[in-house]
Every structure is written in C-alpha cells, then in structure tokens.
Amino acid sequence: MNAPALAVIEPPLDAERHDHPARAAGTVPTAPRPRVNLMLMAMTTAVATFSMHVFVPALPAAAAALAVTPSQIQLTVTLYLIGLALGQIVHGPLSDRFGRRPVILGGIGVYLVGTVGALLAPSLSTLLLARVLQSVGSCAGLVIGRATIRETSTGRDAVAALAVLASAITLSSAVAPLVGSYLTLLIGWRMLFAVLLAAAAVILLLLYLRFPETNTERGAPLSLPGMVRTYGLLLRMPAFMGYSLCGAACTVTAYAFYAALPFLIGEELPHASLGIGFIYLAVVTGSILGALAARQASRRMSLGAIALIGTTAATLAALAFLGGRLLAPDAVATVVAPLFVMTFAGGFANPGAATLAMSANPHAVGTASSLYGFIQMAVGALVTLCVGLIGHDSLSVGGIVTASMSIGLAGLLIARRAGRADQ
C-alpha cells in the first residue's frame, strides 16, 4: 500500500472531487455515485441499539420465566455489548472484500436467526446465544451504514448523512426502553421478539429491493493475516486513532451519566427524582440537536473545524459540571445544563470526526468503519466500568467525564497535526 493511501484526506466541501486534471477539465467521465436511501440506512443502523435497549425492561420477566437470577439474566446485556464490539471487527473487512450489499443482507439475516432463537429459547443458555447472534448480525448495519455514507457522499453531504444516522441511533436508544416496557406489559417478553422479528424482516426485504452495492473497489482475497495487517496499520496511524478517540469520547462519554444518573440524583438531589426522565430527555435532545446543527454547519465550515469546536465545547461543559456541582450542589441546573451542552457539542463534533477517521485510508473504508465502531464500544464500556469502580457521585462522574473528553480533545489535536504533516 503506497504512502498517499495512508495520508488523511479531509473530504472536500464541493460536490465532486476534481483531483484528476482531465476529469476537472471534463474530458474523463466520472462514474455516477450509487444512490442510497438515507432513511433505510437510518432504520438499519438503529436496529442494533434499539434491540439492545428494548429488552432491558423485560429482564425481570425473562428471569422469572427461565428461573434464573438477576445477575444471570444481565448476561443478555453484557454479551450483547460484546457481540456488538467484536462483530464490527469482522463486518468491515468482509465488506471491503465482498461488497457492502452481501454483508448487510447477511448480517440482518443472522439477526433474524438470533431473534427466532430468542423467541423460542427454552433456557438461559439458548437465550444468551440468540442475543449474541442478534448483536453480531445487527452491527452490520452500524458498519455498513458509516462506510456507505463515506463512499457515496462528499464531505458536506457525508456530515449531513452521518448526523442523520447518529440521530437515529440516539433516538432509538431513548425510545426503546419505553417501547420494551409497554410491549412486555401487553404481550409478554417473548412476543417482544416477535415484534422485532417482523420489523427486521421488513427491513431485510427493503434492503434486498433498494440497497445498491457501493463498494466499487473490492480488495485482495480476505485472509486473517491481511486483516491483522490492515488493523495494525490503522492502529499505527495517529490521524485515524486521534479522530476515532475524539468521535468515541464525543458519543459515548455520556454513558457514564447514563450509568450514574439514577444514583446521583437519588443521593444528591432527591427532590428531583421524579424528573429524572426529563434529565434523560435532555441528553437525547442535546445529541440530536447537535447532530442536526453539524449538518447545517457543514455548509460553511470544514470537517476539522466542526470537530474542534464541538469537542472543545464538550470538554468545557464537562468541566462546568464539576464546577457547578461544587458551587451549587443543591441545584438541578448544575446537572441538566452542562449535560445538555456536552451532549449537544458531542453530537455536533461526531459526524466530522467520524468522516475524517474513515478518510484516513480510502482503500479500507469498511475496515476503518469497523475499528472506529469497536473503539466507540470499548470507550463506552470503559467509562461505565470506571463509574462502577470509582463511584457514581458528582465528583467521580465529573472527573471520569472530564478525563474522557480531554483525551478525545488531545486525540483530535494530534490527528489534525498528523494530517497537516501528511499534506
């Protein structure tokens, strides 16, 4: 792989690339970009996160039906997260080699098999296996969604499209517990999987009918050593790692708040316990509005500037949370306001950071998308683990969040410096 392929390429903001002199002059025809239905991509991308969160309210009912302990049934969530992380490592290289279309169709097919298994599971072990199949299959949508957007869109349009996907993931994560609780109450935890099965079958049919192949430069024959080399190459690229850490910090640092908020509110702000749902709503609203703002800003600003402004603002908001809790520990606003600003700024920064990370090696977009997703899941797991180990009080959570955002900001600055050095 030659050196130019390793340089970070910030996608141009014009409608088409004109890097070939003859093409710029209009003498060399350019192949038309495949058209991808963005709403279909958003639906497919949201399957993974929706399916994870929708089952959480059903855990007690499933534990009672299968005669297992709460800690045992919690494995359905833990293994699902592990499947999401590891599954993404596989889908990207497969789609680089064989194409995006067969991988996304195959992934949703595996998800359907897992959903049938969960619906009929006679024991916990069967349910655990089914949930792993669900997660490994569904995360094909996460990987292929990002890769497809990067292949079919220029810089401005890529940011706008990735903002839609990010909003779909955030919104699905927010509404899934509510949907899961009502479905469990009305039709039982098993029939919840029947609803997922029907929805995924419709998505698979739509993908079969309307999803085109976007990978026009399939790579060399797939091999484990080749996969390891490509991943190693990306891991050694300061630009890719910097933008990936930035994007991960901006999107999943809020997981620390998700894990700690019920305890933090209950112990430090008991008078606000009834309003905890509105605090979670602030998280969701901030992320979605930030992503939509990035979509508008991409018309006037570079991807690097969008990522820098968003990450800096999110880091300052994390510091403001710490300061606010120290100065006014009884004020609910010291939780809600910084949290809203942080999630808004993170949602603003993420599309630019994701686009730039996947531009680090244009010959392995799928593999880069896989590793980017894995890094996201790893950072999310790490911050929630830190909350469990260090504590869920304001100072502990604020320190964890500030440290995570500071690492993301440092990664962004390193990536920008590496990008300038390669130019």
State the Cα–Cα distance between residues 385 and 50, nearest whole angstrom.
22
pLDDT band at 277 (very low <50, low <70, confident <90, very high): low
360: tokens are 């680090």
68: tokens are 């297992």
Q: Cβ distance 114 to 134 under 8 Å?
A: yes
pLDDT at 56 (0 to 100)? 80
State the Cα–Cα distance between residues 405 and 338, nearest whole angstrom.
13
- Higher pLDDT among residues 32 and 128, named by residue: 128
117: tokens are 């298994």
pLDDT band at 6 (very low <50, low <70, confident <90, very high): very low
Q: What is the Cα 403 distance to its own chain's centre?
A: 20
Q: Which residues contact 271 (CB under 8 A, 6 or more apart)?
A: none
Give the residue among 369, 185, 177, 202 at the shortest CA–CA distance from 280: 177
pLDDT at 336 (0 to 100)? 87
86-90, 159-163, 198-202: least confidently modelled range:
159-163
Q: How many residues does the chain have?
A: 423
Q: Cβ distance 398 to 300 under 8 Å?
A: no
Give the residue among 16, 192, 217, 12 at the shortest CA–CA distance from 100: 217
Amino acid at 418: A
Any alpha helices (H) in 188-275, and if so which ranges?
A: 189-210, 224-235, 238-252, 254-268
State the Cα–Cα distance between residues 82 and 326, nearest whole angstrom.
36
Q: pLDDT digit string (tens) for 125-177? A: 999 999 999 999 999 999 898 888 878 877 667 777 887 888 888 788 778 87
Beta strands in 5-85 (DSSP E): none
- Ordered by where they begin, the domains of the chain are 34-218 (1.20.1250.20), 230-422 (1.20.1250.20)
392: tokens are 């869920």
Q: What is the mean pLDDT of residues 70-77?
A: 82
Q: Quote the mean pLDDT of the chain.
A: 83
